[in-house]
Structure 1
Amino acid sequence: MSTFTLGLGILGGVVLAGVVGWNAWTTRKLTPRQAEAPTPRDDAHADTGPVEPSFDGPLGDDSVPPLPQPERKPGLDALIDAIAPIAVDTLVSGEAALAALPATRRAGSKPFAIEGHDERTQHWETPQAGRRYNAFQAGVQLANRMGALNEIEYSEFVVKAQAFADAIGGSPEFPEMLEEVARARELDQFAGGHDAQLGFTLRARSAAWSPGYVQQNAAKLGFIAGAIPGRMVLPASQQGQPPLLVLSFDTQAALAEDPTQAAIRDITLSLDVPQVHRGEQPFLRMREAAVALATSMDGVLTDDAGQLIRDEGLDVIGADLEQLYDTLEARDLAAGSPQARRLFS
């Protein structure tokens, strides 16, 4: 074999190796990052097989955690509701009140509610069977993120409240419509100027992410699966409260038949400011989570327009939020309070 032929053979081999290497590199680059396989436990901590369910804790009843209690819905509040007292001549049973409630709990786009004054506890509550009530009140929310209460919605509120009062033999006293509608517009104007829903976008620098990779990295920061595919939440410190943060990504990727091949190039971190109590430090948690995810997942932090968000920008947002918190508290609508959560919903 001549030197020339040998050189061509070597050159061809080098080119072939380069093509194979380039293809492998390209394939690896285009393949979404995958979640790491869980580390198997040693034999001392390995599962020993199915365990028969038991109602008794290993140390007796005291070791069994109590069942979670449903969150009590906040009652009517003159700050954000138009309220009509309903007087009754005799005690009304909870059963009779429940039977008289309207089929829907809304007047247009506004929540509508009826409460009874319990004879025994002297507290206002949603009517319940087995109770007796010596007074009632009907209310409709003045404003929410759908806008201010208008004349048509107020009229629907009056019709529903009057029908309930007639059914239980009560006499309602309605506030003046124009005054309540004007109050609703003022409250809506305030809410519109002090609503804040923050969103950060984390974009992949190079290789995309698989859903499992996103979920695994988010879980390390305390996020848990949400009710909607492609959604994870960071729970509040108190049960029943809205989540501190929401992490979301492409729903179709989350529902893919083969999630390992589903490519995600960006995820969103969001904070609904009025819904979360200031004491939870939600923005600080959001900032820390965004930075941690960007580091662990090789991503960059941007706004909705794709502009990079730097530390200085985050500092400005944090300072603005502190002023917003102060303003809401001065209006008795502190972030995370029942009133704020209802108004900004």
Structure 2
Amino acid sequence: MNSSLLLSLAITGGLVLAAIVAYNTWTLRRNEPKKAQPPDPSAPSAPSAFGAAGMDPLLDPILRQEPSLDGDLAGSAGASPLEGLDRGQDPHDHAIDPSDALRMPAPAHMAERRPGLDPLIDVIATLTMEGVVSGDAALAAFPPTRRAGSKPFAIEGLNDATLTWETPAPGQRYRSFQAGVQLANRMGALNEIEFSEFVMKTQAFADAINAAPDFPDMLQEVARARELDQFAGDHDAQLLFVLRARQAAWSPGYLLQNAARVGFVAGSMPGRLVLPASTPGMPPVLTLGYDTQAALADDPEQSAIRDISLSLDVPQVHRSEQAFARLRDVGAALAQAMDGVLCDQNGQPLPAMAMDPIAADLELLYDQLDARDLSAGSVLARRLFS
């Protein structure tokens, strides 16, 4: 009798232990990061969310690479999805909601301005000479750095043959020069110290080529810089959404595989993917960011990613790219494919009804940039909002 009881207890204990082991194994498998699926050679290639078919570009870095010119905006902390950037600070350090400033009638779209120095956003000093100067001599006289404080500094020459302004080049001849410094950028407005550095660099260049510089009034230019910086601060907006895993985390391979299907390619830094613009060399339309340590892990497939960021640097991307519509589409597609939920920066889920007001504010923002001849994605906008 006792032996039968002991045997029953042993069997029951073994079954309970087996059940515990099975449950723990199931729990571990359920919670381990999702991994990329191996490609099925017999299955047709799935088209991207934007119409491109073929192999996953993220799995072939030679096939698709990030454009060399891009808006460097990795998503990080902030407030609402539509955020303004505080001038004079790093774009990731502070956020305010500029929606109250977006209240202007819609003007006609402005034509693109030429690259190079432009009086709209640059202080420009003219340098006159009696003769012509070779490009080699001009380059030899250039200052060692191309910045005055935190502002870009540039020198252009009027080509004697083509009569166009350009950066001096060897073998060319120039009949006149102009030097310029940018009035404002995301580091703030040009100040008196930076203006003085601009004057010193320009004067040294002028002395080296026997030219006479003509400088605008410092106080007027500094005042103009502050006004431009105020306008830019009121219209410097970025969008940042967070896609958060509902249950199981994602491995980097799983994330890359799903991101490639909606058009993302590898970025220039670990943990960064970009959705390229329709024009090669332009800043990316969208940026996807995830944990850098997971991207650099020795065994990435064991890394667990629980959330990713989807960001849009509004002034850097041309209106015709329909960037916000694509952000919504990408967010929805990734949320469905990866079992995630789209949230704001505070982790609050974003209902569909929250998207339309953001889209309306963006249209007004685009209109105001157009009216100032600083259309989103234009040469001048990319310089000002950098």
Q: 1:241 aligns with which of 282, 290, 301?
A: 282
Q: Tell me the equivalent position of 2:35.
A: 34
Q: In the TM superposition, what whole-angstrom CA distance separates every residue of 1:147-187 from its partner, at most 9, and x where no partner exists?
A: 00000000000000111111111111000000000000000
Deviation at 1:18, TM superposition (A): 2.0
Q: Tell me the equivalent position of 1:113.
A: 154
Q: Any gaps of 5 or more consecutive residues in structure 1?
A: 43-68
Q: Point out the structure with max Rg over C-alpha.
A: 1
Deviation at 1:10, TM superposition (A): 5.2
Q: Tell me the equivalent position of 1:59.
A: none
Q: How does 1:324-335 map to 2 (within 5 A)?
A: 324-335=365-376
Q: 2:116 aligns with which of 58, 75, 82?
A: 75
Q: Tell me the equivalent position of 1:270.
A: 311
Deviation at 1:291, TM superposition (A): 0.7
Deviation at 1:276, TM superposition (A): 0.2
Query: SS of 1:11's equivalent?
Result: helix
Q: Structure 2 counterpart of 1:299, which letter? A: G
Q: How does 1:254-265 map to 2 (within 5 A)?
A: 254-265=295-306
Report the Cα distance in structure 1 between the residues aligned to 2:68 and 2:17, rounded to whole angstroms: 66
Q: Structure 2 counterpart of 1:23, which letter? A: N
Q: Structure 2 counterpart of 1:20, which letter? A: V
Q: Tell me the equivalent position of 1:320.
A: 361
Report the Cα distance in structure 1 between the residues aligned to 2:12 and 2:226, rounded to whole angstroms: 79
Q: Structure 2 counterpart of 1:275, which letter? A: Q
Pairing 1:21–2:62 present: no
Deviation at 1:217, TM superposition (A): 0.5
Report the Cα distance in structure 1 between the residues aligned to 2:117 and 2:342, rounded to whole angstroms: 41
Query: SS of 2:132's equivalent?
Result: strand
Q: Tell me the equivalent position of 1:299.
A: 340
Q: Tell me the equivalent position of 1:213.
A: 254
Q: In the TM superposition, what whole-angstrom CA distance separates every residue of 1:91-114 from its partner, at most 9, and x where no partner exists?
A: 111101110111000000000000
Pairing 1:169–2:210 present: yes
Q: Tell me the equivalent position of 2:226.
A: 185
Q: Structure 2 counterpart of 1:99, which letter? A: A
Deviation at 1:31, TM superposition (A): 1.3
Report the Cα distance in structure 1 between the residues aligned to 2:334 and 2:6, rounded to whole angstroms: 54
Deviation at 1:314, TM superposition (A): 1.1
Report the Cα distance in structure 1 between the residues aligned to 2:231 and 2:224, rounded to whole angstroms: 11
Q: How does 1:45-194 map to 2 (within 5 A)?
A: 74-194=115-235
Query: SS of 1:90's equivalent?
Result: coil
Tell me how large the CA RMSD over aligned residues is.
1.8
Q: TM (normalized to structure 1)?
A: 0.89
Report the Cα distance in structure 1 between the residues aligned to 2:4 and 2:352, rounded to whole angstroms: 62
Q: Structure 1 counterpart of 2:118, which letter? A: D
* Identical counterparts, % of pairs: 65
Q: Structure 2 counterpart of 1:29, which letter? A: R
Deviation at 1:40, TM superposition (A): 3.6
Q: In the TM superposition, what whole-angstrom CA distance separates every residue of 1:120-148 from its partner, at most 9, and x where no partner exists?
A: 11111000011111111000000000000
Q: Structure 2 counterpart of 1:216, which letter? A: Q
Report the Cα distance in structure 2 between the residues aligned to 1:330 and 1:193, rounded to whole angstroms: 14
Q: In the TM superposition, what whole-angstrom CA distance separates every residue of 1:185-236 from its partner, at most 9, and x where no partner exists?
A: 0000000011101111111111111111111110111111011001000100
Report the Cα distance in structure 1 between the residues aligned to 2:278 and 2:68, rounded to whole angstroms: 15
Query: SS of 2:136's equivalent?
Result: helix
Q: Which has the higher contact order (CA 8 A, sep 6+)?
A: 2
Q: TM (normalized to structure 2)?
A: 0.79
Deviation at 1:14, TM superposition (A): 3.7
Q: Tell me the equivalent position of 1:55.
A: none
Query: SS of 1:270's equivalent?
Result: strand
Q: In the TM superposition, what whole-angstrom CA distance separates every residue of 1:59-81 from its partner, at most 9, and x where no partner exists?
A: xxxxxxxxxx998x920010000
Deviation at 1:38, TM superposition (A): 2.0
Pairing 1:344–2:356 present: no
Report the Cα distance in structure 2 between the residues aligned to 1:196 and 1:88, rounded to whole angstroms: 44
Deviation at 1:41, TM superposition (A): 6.3
Query: SS of 1:274's equivalent?
Result: helix
Report the Cα distance in structure 2 between the residues aligned to 1:322 and 1:119, rounded to whole angstroms: 44
Deviation at 1:279, TM superposition (A): 0.2
Q: Any gaps of 5 or more consecutive residues in structure 2?
A: 44-66, 70-113
Query: SS of 1:113's equivalent?
Result: strand
Query: SS of 1:184's equivalent?
Result: helix
